[in-house]
Structure formats: structure tokens, C-alpha cells
Amino acid sequence: MSTPDSPPPSAGAASDAPGSDEDRAARVALTWLVEPGHRLVWSLVQSYGAPATLELLLRGDSPDAALQTAVLAKRDRIDPRRFAETTLHRAERLGARIVVPSDDEWPARVESLATLELGVPGRINIDVRPPLCLWTRGALPLGETLDRSVAVVGARAATGYGIHVTGDLAHGLAENGWAVVSGGAFGIDSAAHRAALGAGGRTVAVLACGVDRPYPAGNTAMFEQIADVGLLISEWPPGSEPLRHRFLVRNRVIAAATAGTVVVEAAARSGAAQTMSRVLALGRAAMVVPGPVTSAMSVGCHELLREHPDAILVTSVPHVLEAVGRIGEYLTPPARGPEHRRDSLDEESVLVLEALPARGTIPTEELAARAGLTVRTVLRRLSLLELAGLVVRRDGEIALSRGSGAAP
């Protein structure tokens, strides 16, 4: 169940080794027993492996009594090992595969969640440890795709402006060979996925429910297209419901798996602030698109830019590429207005040019006085301006040449 064209990495491994069928099944069972990201469960898996951790929890030997109570309550209703077995069979029928950390296509970046600490003073940190496994629908190699990916996310209640800008950004990123990652929601998320699809590029929807029943149902046709040419991924096993708290848990994967996150529109006090804090804590590029200050859907974006000095204001694809590209890979030229010959002049030459009368000639001394420069400086500049064809000398005085466009 690795990439479709390579042999299963479990072949020949010990029956409970990482990547073995038993390891995969144990990760499925663990993710079902305890919501993903759980600090203690992830640590136990790191130390003892998934099969031993599952065994320990089901035996009732958890070092955390409360975790134990929750696990045993769930175990008593459905057998976790049987659940895993059934789900893996079901997934195979659906064309979904499970990817685990020992697989070649595991997205290495998500492991940076292993050390993420989000200190909120006075509050217990929410668990944000790496996923134990990722369910995947689609033909693209997961790790390689996410390796060169940017998240484009934002408000469900997006405006026409937000949809337009999202389309431009996602189209351009896809054209430049970057996968566009988002959450599959209405509004900005859908606009990002659709623009990447429209550009014939790669897109990845990271879901907070099973890959067999992507939420929201209104986007079903888009999800089917993504499953065809992109990737649908989720930590939760097929059949899982999109419970609201799962979106927060899911968001950590979007932040960690991508080279950077662009927030296009966000209302005041939206989840965007939490997303950006995580992106910055992970050392990823935290990018924000500004908008009209009169738009409620840009208030959250402007607050992000005001409150996070490390957040980067982006307005175009080159800005995003500059932020996520390898050093020197992309350079944004500064924004340019219409090009004039005068634009390349030094300040003194501009002063000289602007002190010249629109019509007629002027003596050098008067020109110097009007320009607020010394005669010596003016004479030096005049030689160059004459060479450039911007001024002419007539009867020992100076005049603008035609077409130098120097009206005040």
C-alpha cells in the first residue's frame, strides 16, 4: 500500500516492524482510539513502536489513567484490531492507501511537529504531535508532492475579491510546479484547489474526515477531480465524520507539510491567527494577502500583519515564490511604474531638469538658483543631460529638448 508502482515496503520485514502490515494496522487502530496529535500516544509509538503501544493501551497499562479510561471505554464498544482490519479492506476497495512514516512517500516535513511547542500562557498546550499515518486517495507520490507545496487557505465566506486573488495565486503557483494545498472548504479553499486544477497543476486537499466522504458534500465533484489528478489525504480512517475540533487538529498538518501558508481572506478573530502562529513556530513562510480595509473579510489578514512582525505581506505569485523558494531560486523585481528615460537619473539631474522652464531658454546661473544647486554641479549635470538628449544649449543658454516631458 505504498505508491502504486513500487513494491510494498513491508515485504520481507519482521511482522511488527515499522511499515509491516501489523504496524500499519496498529497505527489505524491507535488513530481511531485516540484523536491524532496526542502527545503521550505519539511518544509511546516513538519509543516502543505502534503494535506495542496498541498492546499496552488495550492491556490497560497506560501511564495516564484518564487516557486509559477513554481507551478502554472505546475498546469495549468495538474491537480496535478488528476495526483496523475492516477499515484497511474497505480502503483498498475505495482506492485509498495508508502511508506511514517508514514509507518512502511519507512527507518528511510533518515530523517537525515532533518538537512544536505553542506556549499559550495560562493554558495547557493542545496536542500537535505528528500524524501516525495518512490515508491517501490519488495517484501522486505524497512526499514528493508536498515537498514542493504551498498552502493557500482562508475564509469560507470569501468575497469576490478573495476568490479572484486566490485564483491568480493558485494558478500561478501550479504553473510554477508547486502543489497547492488547502482544506477543501467552500470559499478560499475551493478557489485554490480549482485554480490549481484549472492550471493543470497539482493540488492536495487535507481533510478532517475520511477520504471516502470528503466534506463538504457540496464540493463532491471537485473532490472527485482532486482524487483523479491530485491527492485527498486525512489522518482519520475512512468513514470518519468531520467533527468540528478535527479541523483544528487537521490544520497543523497543512501548516507542517507545506513550505509556507498564504492566508487570503480571514474575518476578525478567525482561526487564521492560530494557523499563522503554528506556521511561524514551525519556521515556515507565513504569508498574508492584504485587502480593502473596508472589507470584513480582510480584517483578520490585517490583524495578522499587525500582530506578527514575521508575517510576510504578499500580493502576487513572485512574492510567494520568493518566500518559499530555495535561496536565489526566485527574485522579485521591485514594483515598477511606467518606464521613463528620466527615471534612471540621479536626484541632482532631476532637480536641474525640473528647474528648466517648459518653454524658452534660461541662463546657467539662474538655472542653478532655481534648482537650488551650485553652478558647478549644474554644469556637470548639463553635459550628461545633453548627451542623453534631454536638454539643448541655445545662444549660450539652456532649454529642455522636445519630448523630455518635464512639465511640473
Note whether 159 and 186 are within 8 A (CB): no
Does the protein bind a copy of itself through residue 67 (CB under 8 A)? yes
CB of 161 to a copy of itself, least distance (A): 6
Site string (117-156) toward a copy of itself, x via CB under 8 A: ---x--xx-xx-----------------------------
Instruction: Kindly state the number of chain residues that form the binding site for a copy of itself, as judged by CB under 8 A.
Output: 81
Q: How many whole angstroms separate alpha carbon 312 and alpha carbon 389?
A: 42
Site string (175-214) toward a copy of itself, x via CB under 8 A: ----------------------------------------
Which one among 88, 100, 351, 385 touches a copy of itself, defined by CB under 8 A? 351
343 φ, ψ to 5°? -60, -25
Residue with Cβ nearer a copy of itself (179 or 367): 367
Which one among 16, 55, 64, 147 touches a copy of itself, defined by CB under 8 A? 64
Listed as own residue / partner, the contacts of 59-66 with beta carbons closer than 8 Å and 24 or more positions apart are: 64/40
Which one among 30, 33, 98, 282 touches a copy of itself, defined by CB under 8 A? 33
Residue with Cβ nearer a copy of itself (11 or 217): 217
Which one among 6, 15, 69, 383 touches a copy of itself, defined by CB under 8 A? 69
Note whether 221 and 189 are within 8 A (CB): no
CA distances from 289 to 166, 202, 264, 278, 302 (A): 9, 22, 5, 18, 8
Residue with Cβ nearer a copy of itself (37 or 138): 37
Residue with Cβ nearer a copy of itself (39 or 59): 39
Which one among 59, 89, 245, 394 touches a copy of itself, defined by CB under 8 A? 245
Does the protein bind a copy of itself through residue 93 (CB under 8 A)? no
Q: How many whole angstroms separate alpha carbon 207 and alpha carbon 136?
A: 10
Site for a copy of itself in 252-271 (CB under 8 A): 267-270
Which one among 315, 360, 383, 394 touches a copy of itself, defined by CB under 8 A? 315
Site for a copy of itself in 271-310 (CB under 8 A): 289-294, 298-300, 302-303, 305-307, 309
Does the protein bind a copy of itself through residue 78 (CB under 8 A)? no
Residue with Cβ nearer a copy of itself (198 or 372): 372
SS (H, E, C) the chain: CCCCCCCCCCCCCCCCCCCCHHHHHHHHHHHHHCCCCCHHHHHHHHHHCHHHHHHHHHHCCCCCHHHHHHHHHHHHHCCHHHHHHHHHHHHHHHCEEEECCCCCCCCHHHHHHHHCCCCCCCCCCCCCCCCCCEEEECCCCHHHHHHCEEEEECCCCCCHHHHHHHHHHHHHHHHCCCEEEECCCCCHHHHHHHHHHHCCCCEEEEECCCCCCCCCHHHHHHHHHHHHHCEEEECCCCCCCCCHHHHHHHHHHHHHHCCEEEECCCCCCCCHHHHHHHHHHCCCEEEECCCCCCCHHHHHHHHHHHHCCCCEECCCHHHHHHHHCCCCCCCCCCCCCCCCHHHHCCHHHHHHHHHCCCCCCECHHHHHHHHCCCHHHHHHHHHHHHHCCCEEEECCEEEECCCCCCCC
Does the protein bind a copy of itself through residue 397 (CB under 8 A)? no
Residue with Cβ nearer a copy of itself (218 or 408): 408
Does the protein bind a copy of itself through residue 115 (CB under 8 A)? no
Residue with Cβ nearer a copy of itself (306 or 326): 306
Does the protein bind a copy of itself through residue 66 (CB under 8 A)? yes
Which one among 312, 384, 388, 392 touches a copy of itself, defined by CB under 8 A? 312
The region of 2-10, 32-40, 100-108, 132-140 touching a copy of itself under the rule CB under 8 A is 32-40
Does the protein bind a copy of itself through residue 331 (CB under 8 A)? no
Residue with Cβ nearer a copy of itself (35 or 85): 35
The region of 98-106, 171-179, 313-321, 383-391 touching a copy of itself under the rule CB under 8 A is 313-321
Residue with Cβ nearer a copy of itself (336 or 359): 336
Does the protein bind a copy of itself through residue 341 (CB under 8 A)? no
Does the protein bind a copy of itself through residue 220 (CB under 8 A)? no
Note whether 310 and 277 are within 8 A (CB): no
